[in-house]
Amino acid sequence: MKNPLKKMIRCWLMPAALLCFVAASARGDEITDWNQIMFQAARTAVPPTSPGNITRVAAIVQASVFDAVNGIERRYTHVRVQPNAPAGASQRAAAVQAAYASLVRLYPSQTATFDLRRSVSLAGIANGQAVENSQSIARGIEWGQEVADEIWAWRLTDGFASVFAPFTGGVAVGQWRPTPPANAPGIGLNFRSQTPWVLTTPSQFRPAGPPGLNSAKYATDFNETKLMGKSTSAIRTADQTLYAGFWAASTSNYSFNQVAVGLITERHLTLSESSRLLALVNIAMADALIGCFDAKYEFVFWRPVTAIPLAATDGNAATEPEAWTPLLVTPPHPEYPSAHSCMSGAAGRVLANFFGDATGFSLDSDVMLGVVRSYTSFSQALEEVKNARIYAGIHFRSACDDGQNLGVSVADFTVNNFLLPLHGNAIGQLQK
């Protein structure tokens, strides 16, 4: 699958950077171009945008782009902004301005870069094969800005900026506590209290919780991670080690947005279809993460790096303690459920609804350059995501299974109730 983001990066490193960028962008589509610009901005931010925070960034940008495009064509129900675009407004210009205006607010230090890219995009609209007149472009810009302003004002009060006292869990058996090497307090408490995009409450799809410490299921989960996720595991294959790192290196948002962009290009989706797909993917992922962190801080379950050395205290005769180190560093928040599985489950389900589960695709990484994974279906990829977290030594199987189910539930709720076609086109009818 071609990666336009990498092409842009190579272009910026060349002496004729501007000319190269103009050429690459002019051949693209405004919806997918600005999706890729968003991820480049997130990666180059100082510090880089975290895997949790990028869910909110992507939902803000893609919801703004969708409502801007849809406010002109009016094919679907809106996210937030009532369709009220001026007559004759350019959809393409509206999409560009909505993305630009959102990103300037999210990453103000990169405004000069966004200004240049906006100029290139608007020049392409005025000079491309489907030339649009200046009045149409101006009206599109006006409408795109209006939509971005309203989405931004709405999300300013979503609780994302809430500040909490440092959370260090506890020392009770089964309870999360800070993990090595940093032994940092738990992060992501603000996601638990954040206003969802479409869910009625963060706890709407809260799972039942991790298996009891004295259960056979917990022992099975424990021993699988102990064996397969150990840093020096002799059982884990080279490929399993590779994909454990692959899925940890890039954010879930980056990975599944790349899949979406590739399929949008391959299937020649329209502006309306493209903007809707990316909005659904990113809104579902944002709410899946909110639901995930609601559950994490509800159950506050310990990580394998804590549980395995302390197994003598868990009351389960089928678990044995061991001085144990995971393959990858454990993230600083409770174990259950797996955030990557929550977000990937949501994105994979939305994409499967659009294109059919048995859709083949390849995926590369913005960090592990040169590594490409190929899949014959979304369900195959999601199974690999779950295994990757176990083989990395940072999760138990139940957290991955229940996390994916949470994400799937969020996705189904989103596509069945929001951004609905106004004229009878069901989401599945876009499968090609």
At which residue do the structure tokens 């389960």 appear?
A: 316
Q: Which of 380, 374, 367, 118 is nearest to 262 (CA)?
A: 374
Residue 165: per-residue pLDDT: 96
Same fold, 4-155 and 189-430: no
Three-state SS annotation for 71-84: HHHCCECCCCCCCC
Residue 19, CA distances (Å) to 34, 100, 114, 176, 319 in order: 18, 21, 16, 52, 62
Under 8 Å between Cβ of 347 and 284 = yes
- The C-alpha angle 274, 350, 202, rounded to 5 degrees, equals 115
Q: What is the pLDDT of residue 20?
A: 36
For 171, counting Cβ atoms within 10 Å of its Cβ (0-12 exposed, 13-18 middle, 19+ buried), the class is exposed
Q: Which CATH class is domain 4-155?
A: mainly alpha
Report d(CA 30, CA 99) in Å as an integer.
10
The residue extents of the domains of the chain are 4-155, 189-430
Helix (H, G, I), strand (E, B) or coil at 373: strand
The closest alpha carbon to 279, from 94, 30, 68, 59, belongs to 59
CATH 3.40.30.10 applies to domain 189-430: no
pLDDT value at position 132?
Answer: 77
Tell me the pLDDT of the chain (432 aa) as tens digits: 334 333 322 332 333 333 333 333 333 499 999 999 999 999 999 999 999 999 999 999 999 999 999 999 999 999 999 999 999 999 999 999 999 999 999 999 999 999 999 999 999 998 866 667 899 999 999 999 999 999 999 999 999 999 999 999 999 999 999 999 999 999 999 999 899 999 999 999 999 999 999 999 999 999 999 999 999 999 999 999 999 999 999 999 999 999 999 999 999 999 999 999 999 999 999 999 999 999 999 999 999 999 999 999 999 999 999 999 999 999 999 999 999 999 999 999 999 999 999 999 999 988 899 999 999 999 999 999 999 999 999 999 999 999 999 999 999 999 999 999 998 755 544 443
Task: Report the SS3 class of residue 369.
Answer: coil
- Report the C-alpha dihedral over residues 315, 331, 335, 365, rounded to 10 degrees: -130
- For residue 358, the number of C-alpha atoms closer than 13 Å in the C-beta half-sphere is 0
Distances (CA, A) of 339 to 285, 333, 351, 417: 10, 10, 18, 23
